[in-house]
Homo-oligomer: A and B are copies of this chain.
Amino acid sequence: MAVIVQKYGGSSVADADAIKRVAKRITEARRAGDDVVVVVSAMGDTTDELIDLAHRITPTPPLREMDILLTAGERISMSLLAMAIANLGVHAQSFTGQQAGVITDDSHGRARIIAVKADRITRALSDGNVAIVAGFQGVNEASNDVTTLGRGGSDTTAVAIAAAIGADVCEIYTDVDGVFTADPRIVPTARKISRISYEEMLDMAASGAKVLNLRCVEYGRRHGVDIHVRSSFSAHTGTLVTDRPRPEGDPMEQPLIAGVAHDRSEAKVTVVGVPDVPGTAARTFEVVAASGVNIDMIVQNVSAAATGLTDISFTLPAADGQQVIEALTSHREEIGYDSLQYDDQIGKLSLIGAGMKSHPGVSAKLFGALRDAGVNIEMISTSEIRVSVVTRADQLDDAVRAVHTAFDLDSDEGEAVVYGGTGR
């Protein structure tokens, strides 16, 4: 008998029929003898609808009240799911974040889980219930105020509960079969990855693969929770995110490359003509950091000797572009640059694989594949297990396909799959 946490996203519980389908899957696991905890997101577009409603009231909703509002969504989905399970003859009880003991800091709208006091959950399990837990929400310890974890927070709830109760596995159900070597909408021959390390999965998620939330993978790594990403529409095994050694007799070797991720959501800022003296970069990024924006890649060119000036380019979420341009503009004299360039027509391709640590020549092969495909590289950034390049946005798909093929990731089968987000 295993202890299993299952997490279902908004698209898996979008309406009454979907909830009944999910309930059936849950009761099957329970009847097979497992203890089952289910973490559930709000139904379909509920969260977006509630946000719209708030913005019809005020352009600047207080964050504390916004969190109370949004958590109504899981309250609805979790109680309906408990009803649907009960209707199939299996005992079920639903629990809010507060009741499930999900304690967070008090950063409304993007709270971090600091503890999970799961005694009600373990008691519900030992009483023979399936325990349904509201994803995405918790309460802060000081004032018992409701908090939310931000987009994708239900994944984190699931892994945190799994860690707290010592679950054997945390299953994240989504609308795709798992994590793929590339987005199958772009690369029809992309393969499902059967097993991937936390580190690789983190780099995949940070590089644009949307199937798993970054913080959930971090939490899983820190607490050693095996995460099984799989489809709520099929019984197929999905992708196991784990650092455990492969079982004896597993014929698979650690592959060189886990996959090719891409990201179309970034923009590039170039600070043109800054003095090439110590401290310029520091000042520039102090200004950017003070604006509260996370940046991604940074490139500084060699300075032209004649002028003593250089350019600094960096990428950031395009949604934050305006904010950073305003911050830099208001500090122009202090930084001492000539001009700013802003470009949101870029794409980022990332090649990820722990295997590349011990294989020289990965970058060279990547650049060669892009050259052969006629794709120009605008920025390059590398880490131990990742190489990322920035291209024109309209060349990104060609780039992903070329690299996927060059590294022998194409499947022979080319099964039709749909690749998308996981709700939250």
Contact = CB atoms under 8 A, between A and B. Distances in A.
Nearest to A67: B79
A68 interface: yes
A33 interface: no
Contacts of A71: 75
Given A20-B57, A57-B16, A80-B54, A86 B69 contact: no
How many copies of the shown chain assemble into the complex?
2
Contacts of A98: 98
Contacts of A99: 144-145
A322 interface: no
Contacts of A83: 54, 57-58, 61-62, 65-66, 69
Main secondary structure of the interface of A (DSSP, over half): helix
A174 interface: no
A86 B68 contact: no
Contact of A86 (B58, B84, B93, B94): B58
A19 interface: yes
Given A58-B86, A84-B58, A87-B57, A69 B64 contact: no
B80 A69 contact: yes
Top 5 A-B pairs ranked by shortest CB distance?
A58-B87, A69-B79, A16-B56, A68-B79, A72-B75
Interface of A: 16, 19-20, 50, 53-54, 56-58, 60-62, 64-66, 68-69, 71-73, 75-76, 78-80, 82-84, 86-87, 92-94, 96, 98-99, 144-146
23 contacts: A19-B57, A20-B57, A53-B76, A53-B80, A57-B84, A58-B84, A58-B86, A60-B87, A61-B83, A62-B82, A62-B86, A64-B93, A65-B79, A65-B83, A65-B92, A65-B93, A66-B83, A68-B75, A68-B78, A69-B75, A69-B79, A72-B72, A72-B73
